[in-house]
Structure 1
Amino acid sequence: MNINKLIYGPNVAGQSLVDRVMAAKHSLAGQGLAKSVCKATTEEVIAPKKKHVDYLIQCTHEPNVSIPQLAGLLLERSQNFSWVSVFKALLTTHSLMNHGNEKFTQYLASNNCSFKLENFTDKTSPQGYDMSPYIRRYAKYINEKAVSYRLMAFDFCKVKKGKDDGVLRIMDSEKLLKALPVLQSQVDALLEFEVTQSELNNPVIFASFMMLFKDLIRLLACYNDAIINLLAKFFDMNKKQCKESLDMYKKFVTRMEGVGKFFKVAEGVGIEKGDIPDLAQAPSTLLDALETHMKSLEGSKKGTL
């Protein structure tokens, strides 16, 4: 019998011997937090179990729970050799950022706690090797999500949206021009996940795709608010601001192509069309009008010299 398989391979319950020993160790020590992190990030090829994630989410609201310890446990788990455990550590972190107390995201952002997985590769199996690029990309997105919070002091996925009190819809020009590049960087990191329908072939990567899909819906609502606000202010901006805004608008148009591809994959895996936003294309005349105005500003500047 292969000893490595006995130790590291899944048993009949789906958990490896290492998982069971770790859980037992934490249980004996009375470390509920560590035990739940361990159970949420087992080597069983399923999404983290809801009961364990819900427990950790609840922990983020408890005053006697150490957020640094919780974050540290997840970061430590992400250094595991198993692609499944690492992926599930990222999934659990993503869930806590979205549904846990804000102080969890604040801690990740303010303490520059990032997942250092740029070189992660699981060479122990063909599936591990195939999943490794998506782990690297997913980690990059979660890191970018934390960076966005650090730079903006809010989560784009959670802020109010809409014409009346949407944060990015009513933001002044100066703040808007600072916020848009941050939002664009987060959208870029998400779209770089670049998975195809056929590659969503196990419950772990599928769970991460669904988390990203839900984030993208919220980010897109913010992005639309920001662009509507930008266009409304464009013709009253100075030359420097107009140049920045025109560049940001062009990037927005380009990014919508990537969003469209992502949504096609979502539709392909069974997400109903009604749950996928309609990406109505802006008329080309709009870009023409913006560029004409920019040229007029450059022309008037030259005329004053």
Structure 2
Amino acid sequence: MSGQTLTDRIAAAQYTLTGSEVSRAVCKATTHEQTAPKKKHLEYLIQATQDSNVNVPQMGDTLLERVGNASWVVVFKALITTHHLMVHGNERFLQFLASRNTLFNLSNFLDKTGSHGYDMSTFIRRYSRYLNEKAFAYRQMSFDFGRVKKGYADGAMRTMSVEKLLKGMPILQSQIDSLLDFEVQPKDLNNGVINACFLLLFKDLIKLYACYNDGIINLYDTKKILIFTEVLSLQHNKMWKRFPGV
């Protein structure tokens, strides 16, 4: 399917009539076109999260509404847009997502309109689990592992106390595991939508691995490893084998 559908145009027009430019931008970013969400719409939404006059919960609710669509393209792009805002938007967007008891409930999502829909539905289910885990990690730690300072002596995980490390490392490991469970193969990267998702996940993995590495260095440097679980210290050597192209 190429180009915006009539449904896309009607949805955008409805939000235009109600005066909600943010919701209109969400619709524009999550059309039925099998391409990545357009940069101009993502940038508009990122800037909107920085505006204290913008209702961030309403933005989040509109994205969640789009996630409820029957089309794999719309749902996938809504998840990608959400992920993009979690990474690049104001932290209050993350805070809103983390405040919800449930976020994405897509464990049974299936687009039956064609073989491509079946294939992509699998990745949508996996992707939503990762985003749920990312929001849960923020709720538990009160910070995003992807945003904290890394790779330096004064990095967040290098200076963390043993008590917080014992809490944070399993949460970080769980987030990494849920990302690696995406398990995409090169042959699956056959459209602009999943390619955009893969790029975001790959960048997240680099950041999460850097955090994990800092945590391990902290444990070894301070002999905290003596009271830490052996499993966590061994698993980080295996994680790269589960992600293609690394």
Fold match, TM over 0.5? yes
List aligned pairs for 1:153-172, cutoff 5 A. 153-172=142-161
Distance in 2 separating the partners of 1:245 and 1:175: 14
Provide the secondary structure at the position in 2 that maps to 1:266: coil
Asked if 2 retains the 8 angstrom alpha-carbon contact of 1:173 and 1:233, the reply is: no
1:115-130 to structure 2, matched below 5 A, reads 115-130=104-119
Mapped to 2, the partners of 1:172 and 1:62 lie a distance apart of 35
Instruction: For 1:263-274, list aligned pairs within 5 A.
Output: 265-266=244-245
1:29 counterpart residue number: 18
AA matched with 1:61: Q
**Residues 190-217 of structure 1, C-alpha deviations (whole Å, 9 max, x = no match):** 0000000010000000100000000001
Give 5+ residue unaligned stretches, structure 1: 1-9, 268-305
User: Are the counterparts in 2 of residues 230 and 245 from structure 1 also a CA contact under 8 Å?
Assistant: no
Offset, 1:21:
1.0
How far does residue 33 in structure 1 lie from its aligned partner after superposition?
1.3
CA deviations on 1:134-171 (whole Å, 9 max, x unpaired) are: 00000011110000000000000010112321111111
Rg larger in structure: 1
Contact preservation (8 Å) 1:180, 1:226? yes
- The corresponding residue for 2:199 is 210
From 216, 224, 232, the equivalent of 1:248 is 232
1:224-253, Cα deviation, whole Å (9 max, x unpaired): 00011112233xx5xxx7353323212333
Length, aligned pairs only: 246
Corresponding residue for residue 37 of structure 2: 48
Identity rate of aligned residues, in percent?
Answer: 54
Q: Is the 8 A contact 2:180 2:242 kept in 1?
A: no
Does 1 or 2 have the higher relative contact order (CA < 8 Å, sep 6+)? 2
Distance in structure 1 (CA, Å) of the matches to 2:39 and 2:95: 23
* 1:273 corresponds to: none
Q: In the alignment, does 2:177 pair up with 1:188?
A: yes
Is the 1:19–1:38 contact (alpha carbons within 8 Å) kept by the matching residues of 2? yes
Give the Cα–Cα distance (whole angstroms) in 2 for the partners of residues 112 and 217 of structure 1. Answer: 28
Q: Quick one: which of 65, 74, 81 aligns to 1:76?
A: 65
Q: Which moved more, 1:95-104 or 1:110-119?
A: 110-119
Pairs within 5 Å for 1:62-141? 62-141=51-130
